[in-house]
């Protein structure tokens, strides 16, 4: 403190304002996904890292005509501030989209947002106090973990398997946390074509998961950006369709249209809806009127269901290419075989470290996302997420071949110099078979 009573800055050589940040700023850090983009965007690198939709499959002329019509007929509205809740006609159309997955809501309870990521942030802002616990699948979406960390929450991962979240693991985790006197705010889940694991919560488990949360008075936050992008058969009806009062549903046009519009939404119980609108107005005043009107015009004039079918075919072909290439070049590993979405979760021998191996992979001109990005507690080193949504099938095969060079090279080094002998995959194949023992 200076003699005049004005606090002196006590930063560091890199950031003179370091000491002035709020405590929650300590939770802000570049994700391992974002840190990859600068390298993975080089044309010679096959990126199996980012979940970028293949927007080239869109009818570009129809998108352009939608923009032109909006500006020609509603330009004054498109360029102006709008409602914090979003444009009514788009919210009506969102109900039509959600009805495909069994949801029958009210347009009054839909709140549009700048992508579902913003809706996720708003929910976290409304509910999380420092030290609260958020339940999340093991592994979980890196973008959600970053938000929860920024609001100083603790994440307790709940075990999953090939059928999604394990009900008994959820019960045990809740009981352990309650036994420690911890406060659980909500369960965050991606039930359909999970990011990063690629699995889908089975229809049989959905009512049980909801009943566990209902009986423990735990809110469910259902994040569903991939639900319509199925391959062989649709995912089961949304959790929200089974429990309208206990579930906040997050949706997005980023995967079924284009992420550049940044239009997503939340469907929330009435009382929560009111607070979401206030939080949205406080954060951004209103979502983009222009983006909402263009998306609305597209939905009104395009065969958007047919376009989603086109995306399904594109992603199905690429997923098949990835799974076939893994079987050819890396048959000793385990991986998920998703029925939709963007991602395959690969499990390596637990002696390997996907994060440490990444620089060598980039040197071989292939990129992936290390498994540690998807855990709040440092786990996932022997796993990686591979994304098949953006590269062509031919590029995917090249990328997997390059990845095999890296992984097999690491295995050879371990066998030769570490005296490990034959390397065995962990029996869980990348999933936890029991709730985490350390819930601190």
Query: What is the set of domains in the chain, with CATH numbers?
Result: 26-57+306-415 (3.90.1150.10), 61-301 (3.40.640.10)
Establish how many alpha carbons lie within 13 A of residue 49's alpha carbon, considering only the half-sphere containing its beta carbon.
Answer: 27
Hey, is 125 helix, strand or coil?
A: helix
Task: Report the number of secondary-structure helices (H) and strands (E) in the chain.
Answer: 13, 14
Cα 323 from chain centroid (whole Å)? 21
pLDDT one-digit tens code per residue, 366-400: 999 999 999 999 899 999 999 999 999 999 999 99
CA-to-CA distance for 307 and 366, rounded, in angstroms?
30
pLDDT band at 435 (very low <50, low <70, confident <90, very high): very low
As a whole-number percent, the residues of the chain with pLDDT over 70 amount to 88
As a whole-number percent, the residues of the chain with pLDDT over 90 amount to 80
pLDDT one-digit tens code per residue, 297-306: 999 999 999 9
Q: What is the mean pLDDT of residues 192-201?
A: 98
CB-based contacts of 4, cutoff 8 Å, min separation 6: none
Residue 407 burial (10 A CB sphere; 0-12, 13-18, 19+): buried
Cα 340 from chain centroid (whole Å)? 14
CB-based contacts of 211, cutoff 8 Å, min separation 6: none
Residue 353 burial (10 A CB sphere; 0-12, 13-18, 19+): middle
Strand partners, 111: 266
pLDDT number for residue 433 = 39
Q: Are 31 and 142 in contact (CB under 8 A)?
A: yes
pLDDT one-digit tens code per residue, 212-242: 999 999 999 999 999 999 999 999 999 999 9
Q: Indicate the length of the chain as a whole number.
A: 440
- Integer angstrom CA distances of residue 205 from 77, 167, 340: 45, 7, 19
In three-state form (DSSP H/G/I as H, E/B as E, the rest C), the secondary structure along 244-303 is CCCEEEEEECCCCCCHHHCCEEEECCHHHHHHHHHHHHHHHCCCCHHHHHHHHHHHHHCC
Q: What is the mean pLDDT of residues 120-146?
A: 97
Angle at the Cα of 358 (from 316 to 364), degrees rounded to 5? 80
Q: Are 118 and 253 in contact (CB under 8 A)?
A: no
Is pLDDT of 40 > 70? Answer: no
Sign of CA dihedral 106, 112, 117, 122: negative
pLDDT band at 414 (very low <50, low <70, confident <90, very high): confident
> Which is it for strands 264-267 and 184-189: parallel, antiparallel or unpaired?
unpaired
Is pLDDT of 11 > 70? Answer: no
Residue 102: count of CB within 10 angstroms of its CB: 14
Sign of CA dihedral 12, 15, 16, 19: negative
pLDDT band at 4 (very low <50, low <70, confident <90, very high): low
């Amino acid at each position: 403190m200076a003699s005049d009573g004005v606090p002196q800055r006590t930063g560091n050589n890199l950031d003179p304002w370091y000491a002035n940040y709020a405590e929650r700023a300590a939770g802000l850090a570049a994700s391992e996904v974002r840190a990859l983009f600068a390298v993975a965007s080089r044309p010679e690198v096959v990126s199996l890292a980012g979940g970028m939709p293949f927007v080239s499959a869109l009818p570009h002329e129809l998108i352009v005509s939608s923009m032109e019509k909006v500006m020609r007929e509603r330009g004054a509205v498109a360029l102006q501030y709008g409602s914090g809740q979003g444009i009514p006609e788009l919210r009506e159309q969102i109900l039509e989209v959600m009805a495909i997955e069994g949801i029958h809501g009210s347009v009054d309870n839909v709140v549009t947002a700048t992508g579902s990521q913003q809706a996720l942030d708003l929910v976290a802002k409304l509910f999380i106090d420092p030290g609260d616990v958020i339940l999340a699948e093991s592994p979980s979406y890196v973008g959600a973990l970053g938000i929860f960390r920024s609001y100083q929450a603790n994440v307790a991962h709940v075990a999953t398997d090939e059928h999604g979240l394990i009900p008994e693991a959820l019960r045990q985790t809740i009981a352990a946390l309650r036994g420690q006197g911890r406060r659980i705010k909500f369960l965050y889940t991606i039930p359909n074509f999970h990011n990063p694991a690629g699995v889908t919560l089975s229809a049989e488990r959905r009512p049980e998961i909801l009943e566990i949360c209902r009986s423990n008075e735990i809110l469910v936050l259902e994040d569903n950006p991939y639900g319509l992008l199925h391959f062989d058969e649709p995912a089961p009806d949304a959790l929200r369709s089974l429990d309208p009062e206990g579930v906040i549903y997050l949706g997005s046009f980023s995967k079924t249209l284009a992420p550049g519009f940044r239009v997503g939404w939340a469907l929330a119980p009435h009382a929560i809806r009111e607070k979401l609108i206030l939080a949205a107005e406080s954060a951004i005043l209103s979502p983009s009127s222009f983006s909402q009107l263009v998306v609305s015009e597209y939905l009104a004039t395009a065969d958007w269901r047919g376009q989603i079918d086109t995306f399904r075919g594109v992603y199905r072909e690429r997923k098949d290419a990835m799974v076939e290439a893994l079987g050819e070049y890396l048959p000793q590993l385990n991986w998920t075989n998703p029925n939709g979405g963007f991602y395959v979760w690969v499990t390596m021998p637990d002696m390997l470290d996907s994060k440490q191996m990444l620089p060598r992979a980039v040197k071989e001109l292939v990129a992936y996302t290390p498994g540690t990005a998807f855990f709040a507690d440092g786990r996932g080193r022997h796993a990686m997420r591979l994304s098949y949504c953006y590269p062509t099938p031919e590029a995917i095969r090249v990328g997997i071949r390059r990845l095999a060079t890296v992984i097999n090279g690491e295995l050879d080094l371990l066998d030769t110099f570490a005296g490990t002998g034959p390397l065995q995959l962990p029996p869980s194949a990348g999933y936890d078979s029991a709730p985490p023992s350390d819930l601190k």
